[in-house]
Structure 1
């Protein structure tokens, strides 16, 4: 730096250059004096004292000194170059600018060089010197450290988000089975985007207002989480439609509790479903409401299994239309029963037990019984010689009692045998 200043002096050939270089040397002298002052300070850093550390002080002050001299020398060089081009006519104006520049620059650099009591901070001058991760801290500092909540960006289970999401935690308290919902596509992401106060709570209050019990909230949302995204206007319109068809408020609440998807369908679809059952089964409006109220999922599921079962009962099983109507009014579940199970039970009753169609129509509950239970009891009665299902003959056994009585009552009242005998007979099958 000294050689640079000397070269500037040799190149300048006028009073302006001499004054400028003189100012440079004055600033260089001030920096050297400041370095002498900061040779051996005492500074407390992170609770420890540094006394007379000559190497550290020399390195730090040298770094700051070089920064100051380089900055001012560059400024002086730029100024001299500009003056050489502009000529001597602008010397007075340039001298004024140099004075202004020095006035505004020097106090800033001077203030940056020292701190209070002429002590230089290690953290201010050395950017590498940062607090160590192994440095001991106080309990107060440890408590003040804020750790961001670790919410996984991607997860295969909602369990990782329950503690961080108010919506999920409240749904768990309501009895919602999150493990069922997370297996369905996009349902987990939908639930995480919902706000409990603005999205979930209003729907729960709506269900409560129409008569749904609080204990059914978990069941409804577990099977139909999309009800939380339906608008309250649409939900109210569908409830109003059902009531307009003379469904009582208690019936509507019961239907919604047992068929969670009921309120997700539009008024038009609900109307089409009611019209379908009324026309296909030739039912009155009262009987249509009866079967739908007892099995509300008839309004939610597909109509294809229903149409297929009606054809099976008429074509394969040989029932007449009025017999099918009677069977459906007694056991609406047969409309959605498994086709294979329905034909298997009918085949055993009609072809093995020799029960005619009109008796099956009189006791249609037998078509909804378990095939194994029916087979074991019939074979036990046949073994005892008491398998009598003709009402015109003595010792007549009705089909409803055959399948509905518990084992002990069946043995004592119908088979006239002990329960142990029945269990031993079952082992022979």
Structure 2
């Protein structure tokens, strides 16, 4: 049985070679015919296009011939394998009968009579090496690949129109991608439908173009707010006698301002007016200079007010004066505020009324204040009482640059001050 299988395989290979040889011969004949007949065809009908019906029919016929050949081959090999397995299980003593080959001969695959040219390597798809016209090149669409997941928004900038234009506005994507769910929210937004109306609204209320990127970088959720709600909150602030320029400045410096409801904004304004016992004008002044008072938590504000009253010993009117002059005292770090007050009051021996008169000292840098006081004390000029000669103002001590401090207050050179700093 194994010898018969070998002979059958050799016969199969011979028939396959014969089929390929005859097909190649037919191909050459058709090529010659195409070179003679094709010229007149091109002259009469123009250039032969890739979508010509004759060429398409030729490719279809050739595919049918090759698929028929491979189907007969697979069928023969399957039948032979089953019979060989049966002969192994049941031994036979008689001589095996001859079975005709299942592979068709060349004459069983007739070619169409009207076929002029057959391209053996032709395919329905265009070749990558084939030259095309400029019009066809422009019409080719290349699908953009967008990664399903990523740790950075940078990979989506070239694929998303929204992210591209936000970057052009100056939005810091590296800040937004740190926040949960913000990146996916931005990718779902359509620039013309969701982003552009919000930007136009901010420009209409007076926000400068240079501040748009800052606002979105710190508050991307403003893009999902309803424009009617935003307009309602702006109208409320204007009804409280905030000017249009002041509202635009407040929104530019406190990006979350318009995300809060009118009820919350009204409660915040009432809180500061009642706690500080301020008039409506002074309350607007404080909030306009530090608009984040309407956005942040009230706990640090309440704590700093208690510290100023209980620990520092300021009176109610003194606290009012300090807050009106330096609103940042309400949101300053408690540890830093306590450290500066302790040094000014206990080390520099400055009384409460002078600190109230020059509250900017509470907002200064502790290290700078300490170095300058020690340098004046080393020179014997640390005198902060306005009733005594050689008086040094706390305001100038805290705000002047180093060069002016040395020449105007310390009466020394800048090099002497730098050498003294190295001894500390």
With the length of structure 1 as denominator, give the TM-score of the two structures: 0.72
Alignment of 1:213 onto 2:211: no
Structure 2 unaligned blocks of 5 or more: 1-21, 35-61, 76-108
Per-residue CA distance 1:155-207 (angstroms, 9 max, x = gap): 11111111111111111111111111111111111111111111111111111
Aligned residue number for residue 357 of structure 2: 362
Q: Map residues 247-266 of structure 1 onto 2, 5 A cutoff.
A: 247-266=242-261
Taking the aligned partners of 2:24 and 2:349, their CA distance within structure 1 comes to 117
Q: Which residue in 1 is equivalent to 2:26?
A: 41
Please tell me whether Structure 1 or Structure 2 has the larger radius of gyration of its CA atoms.
Answer: 1
2:27–2:118 Cα contact (<8 Å) kept? no
In structure 2, the CA distance between the partners of 1:113 and 1:295, relative to structure 1 (3 Å rule), is farther
Tell me the equivalent position of 1:348: 343
| Offset at residue 309 of structure 1 (A) | 0.6
State the alpha-carbon separation in 1 of the partners of residues 180 and 192 from structure 2. 24
Aligned residue pairs: how many?
A: 334
- 1:28-427 superposed matches below 5 A: 41-42=26-27, 60=65, 63=68, 115=112, 117=114, 137-140=129-132, 143=137, 146-427=141-422
Tell me the distance in 2 between the aligned counterparts of 1:253 and 1:265. 16
State the distance in 2 between where 1:186 and 1:237 align.
27
SS at match of 1:184: coil
User: 1:65 & 1:346 partners in 2: Cα distance?
Assistant: 95
Shift of 1:113: 8.0
Q: Partners in 2 of 1:45 and 1:314 — Cα distance?
A: 106
The residue matched to 1:156 in structure 2 has which SS? coil
Change (3 A) 1:38 1:380: closer
In structure 1, runs of 5+ residues without a counterpart are 1-36, 50-56, 71-111, 124-128
The two structures, once aligned, show a CA RMSD in angstroms of: 3.2
Q: Which of structure 1's runs of 4+ aligned residues deviate more than 4 A? A: 37-40, 43-46, 64-67, 112-116, 118-123, 129-133, 141-146
CA–CA distance in structure 1, aligned partners of residues 259 and 146 of structure 2: 32
Q: 1:38: Cα distance to partner?
A: 8.8
Tell me if the contact between 2:30 and 2:116 (Cα under 8 Å) persists in the aligned partners: no
- Aligned pair in 2 of structure 1 residues 285, 145: CA closer, same or farther (>3 Å)? closer
Shift of 1:219: 0.7
- Distance in 1 separating the partners of 2:29 and 2:330: 88
CA distances 1:301-325 after superposition (whole Å, capped 9, x unpaired): 0101101111111111111111111
* Cα distance, 1:60–1:302 mapped onto 2, change above 3 Å: same
Residue 413 of structure 1: how far off its partner (Å) = 1.5
Match of 1:54 in 2: none
**CA deviation digits over 1:20-76, x for unaligned, max 9?**
xxxxxxxxxxxxxxxxx9996337999xx9xxxxxxx9x948937999xx9xxxxxx
- Pairwise CA distance, 1:137: 2.4
Question: CA shift at 1:261, angstroms?
Answer: 0.5
Give the conservation status (yes or no) of the 8 Å contact 2:256–2:295. yes
Contact kept, 8 Å, 1:38 with 1:119, in 2: the verdict is no
Contact kept, 8 Å, 1:113 with 1:120, in 2: the verdict is no
For the 8 Å contact 1:43–1:119, the answer to whether it is kept is no
CA distance change for structure 1 residues 310 and 136 in 2, over 3 Å: closer, same or farther? Answer: closer
User: Residues of 2 paired with 1:195 and 1:136: CA distance?
Assistant: 36
| Alignment check: 8 A CA contact 1:38 1:118 kept | no
The alignment partner of 1:198 has SS state of helix
Distance between the aligned counterparts of 1:427 and 1:122, measured in 2? 90
Question: Do the aligned partners of residues 395 and 269 (structure 1) sit closer, same or farther apart at CA in structure 2, a change above 3 Å counting?
Answer: same
> Is 1:181–1:188's contact at 8 Å kept on the other side of the alignment?
yes
Change in 2 beyond 3 A, CA 1:186/1:113: farther
Where 1:279 maps in the other structure, the secondary structure is helix
Which deviations, in whole Å up to 9, do the C-alpha atoms of 1:220-252 show, x marking residues without a partner? 111111111000000000000000000010100
CA distance in 2, matches of 1:323, 1:166: 54
The question of whether the paired residues in 1 share the 8 Å contact of 2:166 and 2:213 is answered with yes
Return the alpha-carbon distance in structure 2 between the equivalents of residues 38 and 422 of structure 1. Answer: 101
SS of residue paired to 1:138: coil
SS of residue in 2 equivalent to 1:318: coil
Tell me, what secondary structure is at the counterpart of 2:384? Answer: coil
